[in-house]
Structure 1
């Protein structure tokens, strides 16, 4: 196969989920280039390095402790209790007594954990069930008395805004419609230009839909009437639809099962309207217990899936979105985003996370920036969507060095494809993983990850190989941060790869280095020229 690396590393499809994000430059530090100086350790954001939030929902109560680079946070602690606070609310007007007791116990536990971790005060928000229940205020007072936690009860529009901000945390530059489904409500919000637009709320939560009279037909009529009212408020919404909430994630898991999808990562999983319709039939006609078990969905969540499925089908019919993306980020991430300064919000979450990983785990933090400059001549015509993957790969190229050499390549691939990273499509995860795998191994065949390669076409696989082999060679010239590595030049029309080797690096260009450079040239199908500077 012949690859022209002038166009080689140049695949880009305009996307509606942040692929066109600005490559932000920090004017005060131009030496950092288009991505700017990393901010994860800046004094202005250091207070966000570990922060705990609790979401008291109609179906579950969850505590998350964020850690690491705030712009792309890791989940230091994540626990969920299915309390069903909103079960029966439509009939009684009150919180489910058993759920209330379980939620109180969960919040008491979470407060003890927070104190044990020496966290700042937890941020606790409650949504539809607590705000709608006549005993919601009494529940909040009881929680305050017994745990010391102050619950902020938010209205539906605020819930929509926070969920939309959670999506923006993962997809800066995204635009489209956010749909957040909880137990007792469903919210919609517009996002564009890194901001949240119109927001609406509704009663289309699965726990409330269970109480609608008239069986499934009566429920479907009710859903249609409510959805048309939401459309009248929002108008046409035919861009991307971002789905937030546990019921949507359960449907996505089942869609993965039905399709035999190879990468079991929910965040940024894509579906079409036809996929959703086929999966709805699969759920309706299949054995619920078998599907639940095979897809890894809890029994309590599976009980709500048929109601959520009816809502999603009507949502697609009403708004006709371009396509659908699952977001694992929602209210809790929106609370974190709320506390970020604007300059941090503008940063690329992938690059910030990669900078953080390099500073924490690489043997020589800072070398990734040099390696990026070294390999970039091979990618000079690449679009920004590809350049950011090149940058991330260079920053991450050495963070798995502690793994056993026999498994280091696999560990790199596994980490890239399954790690909690924002701003990555599934195909980009595989591209990043494949490049890092080639950083440690020339060949990619014969391992357990081969089914994932199908998410990339043959050209993209070759591009990842070129990047990986370029990093593999560049790492051989590693001396110290800011040392001169040498310089690659690529002449795509002549099919010639040239290395300019300074005197200071000659001793590093031994037999192994030469073999790695020849392997890179072979992947480019190029003639190799080495020039030694005196």
Structure 2
């Protein structure tokens, strides 16, 4: 299959027909994909095939199919047995979830092993799952598409590390460009001859070559995909005592990578893995992977390093999306879905957004989308106990599986939703996370939260604005002009909330009713 495959040809390879041709399929479909990797075998079931899908089910088995492949030329016998058991389990789960057939792909170990085709035949015979072995080029493309699912329109370099290989791909303007594969997976590196010196020389030589083949560019954003990179990120978080443990969109610098390499090499491995929350199987590969990453960033000199939780499996989902769905903002789509599913008055979020928008006249498009997300989510946690509603809102925003959201933006969103239900944030158990945003952003989040709190008192339905806010930042005057039908809604509590918003702006307030 290639990048320009045409739906009209009827040839969709392992991906089947597009799932998103109509709203009914988008609302009802669950999509199951299996990734048979060199180190792990994973099943992911995406719920409600939307632009930013939720993970209905996610299970990984560390099988080690590629262990010893360089020496024997064949898949690990123990790994084959474990992988087959895992796939039998996944096939049974898929039947119970009514998502048969599963979409399944195999990567480096299966494509390189002499007995790879035989293994795929056995899997089909014993489980009914047809495993499609993809090339390194295709693996790089799908991983890059997974990144585009979370960052539409991004520019940079995607680097996906597996057990037996490492893939690189350029992304720009929503498309995947140059890509290549290399034998820099940790399982392969274990078998490099020449001891420590030979290993270091092999890594340096290989990265120098792939840097030249990728055009010799430096200074781009680097997106890291793969379990070993995520394990390194967890070690980096532990070293820095980072307050938020969400891996997606976690950022590092070239200097961070160098410091974390020293940290990993000097800490007790078992103690570090427990503190970082990394499995023993994964931690065994980290010392090799960090050497690759350290050299990679020294050569490519990225301006920014971002961890992506989205990779080949999300790329397989992205493959089936039409262009108009790919171009949508994953954050806004997820928030729209949450509002439609959980809010007391679905559809009021856009009205609320129009109501609060005059308070942020200088917001750029990135800030506007966070404000819009907050308005869509402002009421989805209403079922929580009132005493804990602010904390539940903050938890939902900062820990939810949301794409297209930086960590600082997560905290801003969480603070805004916290202030939707609470005037105060001091003393909250999340204060360490508040350090991820600037003081002026904390104040702006408070203003947004209090404005949403006021707007929520003035519901007139999903089509009618309850009134309008006019903010004069020079004279520090906030005026609310109420729709005549909202006059009776502006009671004592609403007035208190308006005054609280005025206080947050350090302003004076005026109230009027339209003629």
TM (norm. structure 1) is: 0.91
Matched with 1:116 is: 96
Q: How far apart are residue 59 of structure 1 and its match?
A: 0.2
Matched with 2:139 is: 159
Matched with 2:59 is: 79
Q: How far apart are residue 93 of structure 1 and its match?
A: 0.3
Give the RMSD, CA atoms, in angstroms: 1.3
Q: Does 1:472 align with 2:489?
A: no
TM (norm. structure 2) is: 0.95
Whether the 8 Å CA contact 1:69–1:353 is kept in 2: the answer is no
After superposition, residues 221-300 of structure 1 pair within 5 angstroms as 221-235=201-215, 236-300=217-281
**Unaligned ranges ≥5, structure 2:** 1-18
State the Cα deviation string for residues 423-453 of structure 1 (Å, max 9, x = none). 0000000000000000000111111111000
Q: Does 1:181 align with 2:161?
A: yes
Q: How far apart are residue 69 of structure 1 and its match?
A: 5.5
Alignment equivalent of 2:82, drawn from 76, 96, 102: 102
Distance 1:442 1:44 in 2: 41
- Matched residue SS, 1:455: coil
Distance 2:432 2:80 in 1: 45
Matched with 1:312 is: 293
Q: How far apart are residue 481 of structure 1 and its match?
A: 1.8
Q: How far apart are residue 532 of structure 1 and its match?
A: 1.7
- Matched residue SS, 1:62: strand
Matched with 1:21 is: none
Distance 1:481 1:370 in 2: 7
Q: How far apart are residue 46 of structure 1 and its match?
A: 1.4
State the Cα deviation string for residues 124-162 of structure 1 (Å, max 9, x = none). 000000000000000000000011111110010100000
State the Cα deviation string for residues 448-506 of structure 1 (Å, max 9, x = none). 11100000110000010000000000000013221330111111111110011122111
Closer/same/farther in 2, CA of residues 196 and 63 from structure 1, 3 Å limit: same
Alignment equivalent of 2:477, drawn from 485, 488, 496: 496
Q: How far apart are residue 533 of structure 1 and its match?
A: 2.4
Matched with 2:306 is: 325
Q: Does 1:408 align with 2:389?
A: yes
Whether the 8 Å CA contact 2:236–2:256 is kept in 1: the answer is yes
Matched with 1:357 is: 338
Matched with 1:516 is: 497
Whether the 8 Å CA contact 2:142–2:311 is kept in 1: the answer is yes
Whether the 8 Å CA contact 1:48–1:70 is kept in 2: the answer is no
Distance 2:269 2:306 in 1: 24
Q: How far apart are residue 277 of structure 1 and its match?
A: 0.5
Whether the 8 Å CA contact 1:69–1:356 is kept in 2: the answer is no
Distance 1:58 1:44 in 2: 37
Matched with 2:14 is: none
Whether the 8 Å CA contact 1:45–1:340 is kept in 2: the answer is no
Q: How far apart are residue 307 of structure 1 and its match?
A: 0.5
Whether the 8 Å CA contact 1:40–1:356 is kept in 2: the answer is no
**Unaligned ranges ≥5, structure 1:** 1-38
Q: Segments of 4+ in structure 1 off by > 6 A?
A: none
Matched with 2:68 is: 88
Closer/same/farther in 2, CA of residues 49 and 393 from structure 1, 3 Å limit: farther
Distance 1:314 1:247 in 2: 15
Closer/same/farther in 2, CA of residues 299 and 142 from structure 1, 3 Å limit: same
